[in-house]
């Protein structure tokens, strides 16, 4: 079986895995990182979205062996242990989740969206999250949350401008 | 547009602003979120147990066939495979899945084995199960099971299914008709006789797939003769009773847990064969088992929703006043009757009259078997279908008479001063103000301005036409008064239970029989308890979803949790306060009648400083050193609430669409929803429920359809084919509220879970038809995909008969991969 060396949320893992093992099953079943759920089997829903070297991937369409040598960040790796990540906080404050099943993937996809575009319009947010489905919220509060997080994250990065 | 009765607007229907200290009415952020946004959630599939085995199901690839041979020996020899079971292996113990709603005495109710034994009747029906050491090994072994099928005729069309000579879904029953249920009030034939206006339409409620984001999952462990079953279910309590009934495992040996559940929308209001089989496998093997479905199998095997053919006739006078309404439904049951399958369309029987007055009404529904996935509850459950029917008919009546659609509604709706009002279908609407909701919606929508723009675009012959859709809906929710359920032959009551424990430290545990799966009960229930008991919100914890923790309940569906379960909690809190008052009087050496309870503290009237907090009283009761005569040392209380009536949220939804007459593409330009859901516990949660409801109702209008081909194969098995809308497919909603408190419960609440879904579908379709009516279009079948809009336009312009709700599947299934008959 292939050997993989993967950094997940700051921890290095060395494992023998079946070549066909999906990254999402590796995370959930082998590493116990069950914070990333699975919502479909055709890479449509985005519930399993994680970051690989900072870029969003749907972990159901990445093989564990493809993650060899890469850094994976899941929703469990956000925040600093004490405080929530601004994106998590924004989802809470804007009531951007109900059942919460899509939320980990939605948060990770939104982070990648802001990496591309730090100040997106509502339309850009909607287009940018097209690959992540939510059945509960109608998306309106998710859009608000991403905008709120974007504002907060920009100000945090540019404290001088924010104060002026 | 003539004016909405102005005096109505002056009525006090603006949402109340709670005082600053009240919890009820406050937009509390949800306590549930903490675990959900950090990935520390207990979804069923997250659960690991020592020795856990994994289950996979082999499913029928054929819609109707006899099983002539199953050879599972190769599968049993696969590495890591512990067991393979077929229907024949389980026949002695698997029983028949329950149907709790025999709607008529002569209803045809076929056996429904959890795993098919000798015949399969829909694609996706389980035929065997593999148990293996991990998920992959279990799925691998499915390939090694060899089954011979002898195909039988597939019954896929409801109208043909009930004709003589059509093949039978259940040959031994001799018919594809499960039941015919009728209701009549007034004199329908007299109302239609010589009516100046009679409108007849045929509408199709396409089949939908509920698509909760969390796929179903079950974990079951057996220790001795004690069983614990975790399931992604809405109904742990009902499931426990039903599993005990089906398997013969005594109810008190079975614990059912609904851990964090990722949405349901009715689809998890079910007793599924997979749940039964996991229980039987855990019993057989003496080891815990887990099964988690893939989305593709879920689309075939989770019950579907809607799927009706509606024939509607409306008789009216020339001034638009409705004389009578006749409803004749064919409702697709699918291949079997599941938990409440036959009753779902009948929940619409009382709603086709909507908010309108009329002299006569008749309703007839025929439940039909087909070789398709069984149908059952999906958000709204019978009421969206009814609301669609009547709201589309009101627009047709307006068009026939040349009236504004709001004006024709105004001439027929129940005026606010007429409440309580006994409707033609026999319900008593307790409260509402349709004038006020409509006035507010029109203002937010800028109705007159949009009508002017519509006229302008029509005059200019703009290829992009503007349409305005109206839906002035009501619904019945808060399911349900037990006596009503009894009169409808439902197998259980509609009460809900709550208990309140005041711990020695003064902290409070609330136990509720409602079973939230995304709704936010942990927050809202804590708000109710905090207010009633006068304790801090943070001091209240809400427990639910585990039959060991919450032993009594009727669970969550039908917008019932707040209107029934919330009221049970309210009553239980009052019992706590009553007990505490007696204890406090004893401690204060005062008469109970001289005490007042406010802000969590009992004080003697007129004697400042003489007071005991609820927490102090709880501690004193716990210590039990000094109790009133005969007082049990506890403040804990419980209440079971059986509602006296349904509750009736209502609202006015207005939708503006731009329809490209060259491509058929529909874009929602604006959507205004003014809902009256009575008093509101948490406006944040209410708004969220409305948003999500709108999304699902709009999705029925524009995007979603479960498509079957002529052989009964579901062609929309994946999310690539079944179009759940993304953020890019939906507009920004404008939502607002009016507030007429329900008069039938002390909280004044009505329920909000389904309102958005019920209201929005006809608003969108009415808007599309409104845009195209000058072209001769009077209907576009749902979902109104670009292709269907385009075809409706071309058919109207070439003088062909309009599509009239043809069930012919177009591109509705998604990205052109849905074949169907198109």
- Touching check for B627 and chain A: CB below 8 Å? no
Closest CA to B742 of B523, B567, B496, B525: B567
From residue B645, alpha-carbon distances to B179, B348, B485, B495, B563 in Å are 27, 16, 11, 11, 10
From residue B453, alpha-carbon distances to B4, B585, B662 in Å are 21, 69, 19
Q: How far is A70 from chain B (nearest CA, A)?
A: 21
Subunit contact A138:B694, Cβ cutoff 8 A: yes
Residue-wise pLDDT tens digits, A92-113: 999 999 999 999 999 999 999 9
- Greatest pairwise CA separation for chain A in angstroms: 57
Question: Are residues A62 and A120 located together in one domain of the fold?
Answer: no
Report the alpha-carbon angle B239-B240-B244, nearest 5. 110
Of all residues in chain B, the one with the smallest CA distance to A38 is: B214
- Greatest pairwise CA separation for chain B in angstroms: 90
Confidence at residue B801, expressed as pLDDT on a 0 to 100 scale: 55
Subunit contact A141:B32, Cβ cutoff 8 A: no
Domain closes at, from B261, B292, B323: B292
Inter-residue contact B221 to A53 (CB < 8 Å) = no
Question: Are residues A72 and A9 located together in one domain of the fold?
Answer: yes
| Domain at A61, CATH number | 3.10.20.30
Residue-wise pLDDT tens digits, B169-193: 999 999 999 999 999 999 999 999 9
- DSSP assignment of B336-394: S--SSGGGTGGGGTTTTTTTB--SEEEEEEEEEE-SSPPB---TTTTHHHHHHHHHHHH
Domain closes at, from B238, B265, B292: B292
- Touching check for B516 and chain A: CB below 8 Å? no
Alpha helices in chain A (DSSP H): 23-25, 86-93, 103-116, 122-128, 140-157, 159-163
Of A29, A74, A95, the CB nearest to B688: A95
B414 within some domain: yes
Domain closes at, from A42, A77, A112: A77
Domain span at B438: 6-14+380-396+403-477+646-813
Q: Chain A interface, mutation test: which of B27, B32, B39, most A Cβ atoms within 10 Å? A: B39
Of all residues in chain B, the one with the smallest CA distance to A137 is: B692
CA distance B734 to B34: 28
Q: How far is A164 from chain B (nearest CA, A)?
A: 31
A105 within some domain: yes
Report chain B residues whose CB lies below 8 A from the CB of A92. Answer: 29-30, 33-34, 37
Inter-residue contact B364 to B327 (CB < 8 Å) = yes
Q: Give the full edge-to-edge strand order of the sheet including B611-613.
A: B595-598, B601-604, B611-613
Of A40, A92, A127, the CB nearest to B728: A127
Confidence at residue B521, expressed as pLDDT on a 0 to 100 scale: 97
Domain span at A17: 3-77
pLDDT beyond 50 at B389:
yes
Of B38, B695, B726, the CB nearest to A75: B38
Q: Total domain count for chain A?
A: 2
CA distance B19 to B728: 39
Question: Are residues A51 and A33 located together in one domain of the fold?
Answer: yes
- Touching check for B668 and chain A: CB below 8 Å? no
Report chain B residues whose CB lies below 8 A from the CB of A129. Answer: 726-728
B248 within some domain: yes
Domain closes at, from A40, A59, A77: A77
Domain closes at, from A46, A77, A108: A77
Question: Are residues B500 and B464 located together in one domain of the fold?
Answer: no
Of B519, B718, B727, the CB nearest to A98: B519
Question: Are residues B418 and B463 located together in one domain of the fold?
Answer: yes
Question: Are residues B528 and B410 located together in one domain of the fold?
Answer: no
Class of residue B117 by CB neighbours under 10 A (exposed 0-12, middle 13-18, buried 19+): middle
Tell me the CB-side half-sphere exposure of residue A90, using CA atoms within 13 A.
21
Report chain A residues whose CB lies below 8 A from the CB of B37. Answer: 75, 84, 88, 91-92, 97, 100, 103, 107
Q: Chain A interface, mutation test: which of B31, B36, B757, most A Cβ atoms within 10 Å? A: B36
Residue-wise pLDDT tens digits, A149-163: 999 999 988 766 544
Inter-residue contact B326 to B312 (CB < 8 Å) = yes
A164 within some domain: no
Question: Are residues B533 and B513 located together in one domain of the fold?
Answer: yes
pLDDT beyond 80 at A75:
yes
Subunit contact B36:A100, Cβ cutoff 8 A: yes
Question: Are residues A13 and A63 located together in one domain of the fold?
Answer: yes
Report chain B residues whose CB lies below 8 A from the CB of A101. Answer: 43, 212-214, 262-263, 518
Pairing type for strands A55-58 and B81-86 reads: unpaired
Subunit contact B40:A84, Cβ cutoff 8 A: no
For tokens 């008709």, the residue is B177
B326 within some domain: no
Residue-wise pLDDT tens digits, B495-511: 999 999 999 999 999 99
Confidence at residue A72, expressed as pLDDT on a 0 to 100 scale: 98
- What is the pLDDT confidence band of residue B804, given thresholds at 50, 70 and 90? very low
Report chain B residues whose CB lies below 8 A from the CB of A24. Answer: none
Residue-wise pLDDT tens digits, B46-92: 999 999 999 999 999 999 999 999 999 999 999 999 999 999 999 99
Q: Answer positive or negative: Cα dihedral of B721, B727, B730, B733.
A: positive
Report chain A residues whose CB lies below 8 A from the CB of B263. Answer: 98-99, 101, 135-136
- Touching check for A121 and chain B: CB below 8 Å? no
Span B672-692, mean pLDDT?
98
Question: Are residues B138 and B237 located together in one domain of the fold?
Answer: yes
Subunit contact B41:A35, Cβ cutoff 8 A: yes
- Touching check for B296 and chain A: CB below 8 Å? yes
CA distance B310 to B390: 11
Confidence at residue B18, expressed as pLDDT on a 0 to 100 scale: 66
- Touching check for B727 and chain A: CB below 8 Å? yes
Token reading at B214:
């969390």
Question: Are residues B596 and B511 located together in one domain of the fold?
Answer: yes
Q: How far is B213 from chain A (nearest CA, A)?
A: 6
CA distance B74 to B176: 38
Question: Are residues A16 and A41 located together in one domain of the fold?
Answer: yes
Q: Total domain count for chain B?
A: 3
Span B630-657, mean pLDDT?
97
Question: Are residues B682 and B758 located together in one domain of the fold?
Answer: yes
A52 within some domain: yes
Span B298-305, mean pLDDT?
98
Question: Are residues B119 and B82 located together in one domain of the fold?
Answer: yes
- Chains A and B: how many Cβ contacts under 8 Å? 185
Subunit contact A139:B685, Cβ cutoff 8 A: no
Q: Which of residues 178-217 of B touch A (CB under 8 A)?
A: 211-215
Of B136, B213, B262, the CB nearest to A133: B213
pLDDT beyond 80 at B807:
no
B734 within some domain: yes
With pLDDT > 70 as the criterion, what percentage of chain B qualifies? Answer: 96
Of all residues in chain A, the one with the smallest CA distance to B260 is: A99
Q: Chain B interface, mutation test: which of A25, A127, A136, A146, most B Cβ atoms within 10 Å? A: A136
B304 within some domain: no
Confidence at residue B817, expressed as pLDDT on a 0 to 100 scale: 34
Inter-residue contact B645 to B563 (CB < 8 Å) = no
Q: How far is A4 from chain B (nearest CA, A)?
A: 19
- Touching check for A145 and chain B: CB below 8 Å? no
Mean predicted lDDT score pLDDT of chain B: 95
Residue-wise pLDDT tens digits, A123-133: 999 999 999 99
Subunit contact A139:B727, Cβ cutoff 8 A: yes
Residue-wise pLDDT tens digits, B546-592: 999 999 999 999 999 999 999 999 999 999 999 999 999 999 999 99
Span B779-793, mean pLDDT?
97
B298 within some domain: no
Subunit contact B265:A135, Cβ cutoff 8 A: yes
Subunit contact B726:A129, Cβ cutoff 8 A: yes
| Domain at B263, CATH number | 3.90.1170.50
Residue-wise pLDDT tens digits, B1-41: 445 544 444 455 888 776 778 999 999 999 999 999 999 99
Phi and psi at residue B543, in whole multiples of 5°? -115, 140
pLDDT beyond 80 at B42:
yes
| Domain at B656, CATH number | 3.30.365.10
Token reading at B347:
């929940």
**Which of A41 and B814 is assigned the larger pLDDT?**
A41
Question: Are residues A59 and A98 located together in one domain of the fold?
Answer: no
- Touching check for A35 and chain B: CB below 8 Å? yes
């Amino acid at each position: 079986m292939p050997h993989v060396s993967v950094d997940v949320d700051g921890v290095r893992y060395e494992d023998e895995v079946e070549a066909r093992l999906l990254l999402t099953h590796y995370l959930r079943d082998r590493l116990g990182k069950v914070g990333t759920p699975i919502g479909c089997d055709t890479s449509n829903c985005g519930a399993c979205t994680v970051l690989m070297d900072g870029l969003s991937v749907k972990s159901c369409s990445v093989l564990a062996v493809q993650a060899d040598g890469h850094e994976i960040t899941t929703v469990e790796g956000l925040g600093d242990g004490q405080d929530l990540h601004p994106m998590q906080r924004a989802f809470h404050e804007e009531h951007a989740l109900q059942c919460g099943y899509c939320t980990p993937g939605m948060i990770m996809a939104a982070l990648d969206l802001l990496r591309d575009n730090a100040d997106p319009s509502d339309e850009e947010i909607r287009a940018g999250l097209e690959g992540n489905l939510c059945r509960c919220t109608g998306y309106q509060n998710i859009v608000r949350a991403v905008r709120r997080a974007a504002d907060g994250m920009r100000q945090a990065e540019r404290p001088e401008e924010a104060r002026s | 547009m003539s004016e909405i009765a102005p005096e109505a607007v002056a009525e006090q229907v603006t949402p109340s602003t709670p005082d600053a200290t009240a919890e009820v009415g406050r937009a509390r952020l949800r306590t549930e979120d903490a675990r959900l946004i950090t990935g520390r959630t207990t979804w069923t599939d997250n659960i690991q147990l020592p020795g856990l085995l994994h289950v996979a199901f082999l499913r029928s690839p054929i819609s109707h066939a006899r099983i002539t041979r199953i050879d599972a020996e190769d599968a049993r020899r696969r590495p890591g495979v512990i067991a393979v079971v077929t229907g024949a292996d389980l026949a002695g113990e698997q029983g028949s899945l329950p149907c709790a709603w025999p709607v008529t005495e002569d209803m045809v109710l076929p056996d429904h084995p959890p795993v098919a034994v000798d015949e399969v009747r829909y694609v996706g029906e389980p035929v065997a199960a593999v148990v293996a050491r991990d998920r992959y090994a279990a799925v691998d072994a499915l390939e090694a099971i060899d089954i011979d099928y002898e195909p039988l005729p597939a019954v896929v069309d409801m109208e043909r299914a009930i004709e003589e000579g059509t093949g039978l879904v259940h040959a031994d029953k001799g018919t594809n008709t499960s039941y015919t249920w009728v209701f009549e009030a007034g004199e329908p034939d007299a109302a239609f006789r010589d009516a100046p206006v009679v409108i007849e339409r045929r509408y199709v409620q396409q089949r939908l797939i509920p698509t909760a984001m969390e796929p179903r999952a079950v974990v079951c462990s057996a220790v001795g003769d004690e069983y614990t079953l975790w399931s992604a279910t809405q109904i742990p309590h009902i499931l426990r009773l039903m599993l005990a009934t089906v398997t013969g495992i005594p109810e008190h040996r079975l614990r059912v847990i609904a851990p964090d559940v990722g949405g349901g929308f009715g689809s998890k209001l079910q007793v599924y064969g997979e749940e039964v089989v996991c229980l039987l496998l855990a019993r057989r093997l003496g080891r815990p088992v887990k099964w988690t479905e893939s989305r593709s199998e879920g689309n075939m095997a989770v019950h579907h929703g809607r799927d009706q053919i509606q024939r509607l006739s409306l008789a009216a006078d020339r001034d638009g006043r409705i004389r009578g309404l006749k409803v004749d439904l064919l409702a697709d049951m699918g291949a079997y009757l599941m938990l409440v399958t036959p009753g779902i369309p009948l929940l619409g029987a009382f709603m086709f009259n909507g908010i309108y007055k009329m002299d006569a009404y008749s309703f007839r529904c025929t439940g039909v078997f087909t070789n398709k996935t069984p149908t059952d509850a999906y958000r709204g459950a019978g009421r969206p279908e009814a609301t669609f029917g009547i709201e589309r008919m009101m627009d047709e009546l307006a068009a026939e008479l040349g009236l504004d659609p709001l004006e024709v509604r105004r001439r027929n709706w129940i005026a606010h001063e007429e409440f309580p009002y006994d409707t033609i279908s026999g319900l008593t609407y307790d409260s509402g103000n349709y004038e006020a909701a409509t006035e507010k919606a029109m203002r937010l929508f800028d109705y007159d301005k949009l009508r002017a723009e519509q006229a302008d675009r029509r005059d200019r012959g703009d290829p992009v036409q503007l349409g305005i859709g109206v839906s002035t809906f009501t619904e019945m929710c808060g399911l349900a008064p037990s006596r009503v359920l009894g009169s409808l032959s439902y197998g259980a009551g509609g009460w809900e239970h709550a208990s309140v424990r005041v711990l020695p430290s003064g902290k409070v545990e609330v136990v509720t029989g409602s079973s939230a799966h995304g709704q936010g009960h942990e927050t809202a229930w804590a708000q109710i308890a905090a207010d009633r008991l006068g304790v801090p919100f943070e001091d209240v914890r809400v427990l639910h979803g585990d039959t060991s923790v919450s032993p009594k309940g009727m669970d969550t569906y039908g917008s019932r949790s707040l209107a029934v379960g919330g009221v049970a909690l309210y009553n239980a809190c009052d019992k706590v306060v009553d007990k505490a008052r007696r204890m406090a009087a004893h401690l204060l050496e005062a008469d109970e009648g001289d005490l007042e309870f406010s802000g969590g503290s009992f004080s003697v009237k007129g004697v400042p400083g003489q007071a005991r907090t609820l927490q102090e009283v709880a501690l004193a009761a716990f210590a039990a050193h000094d109790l009133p005569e005969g007082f049990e040392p506890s403040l804990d209380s419980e209440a079971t609430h059986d509602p006296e009536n349904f509750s009736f949220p209502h609202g006015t939804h207005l939708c503006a669409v731009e329809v490209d007459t060259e491509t058929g593409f529909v874009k929602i330009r604006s959507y205004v929803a003014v809902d009256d859901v009575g008093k509101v516990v948490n406006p944040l949660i209410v708004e969220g429920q409305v948003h999500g409801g709108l999304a699902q109702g709009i999705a029925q209008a524009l995007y979603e359809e479960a498509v079957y081909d002529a052989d009964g194969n579901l062609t929309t098995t994946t999310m690539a084919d079944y179009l759940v809308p993304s953020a890019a497919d939906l507009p920004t909603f404008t939502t607002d509220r009016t507030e007429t408190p329900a008069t039938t419960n002390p909280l004044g609440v009505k329920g909000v879970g389904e309102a958005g879904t019920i209201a929005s579908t006809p608003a969108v379709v009415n808007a599309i038809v409104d845009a195209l009516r000058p072209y001769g279009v009077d209907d576009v079948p749902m979902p109104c995909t670009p292709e269907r809009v385009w075809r409706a336009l071309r058919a109207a312009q070439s003088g062909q008969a309009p599509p009239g709700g043809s069930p012919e599947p177009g591109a509705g299934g998604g990205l052109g991969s849905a074949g169907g008959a198109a």
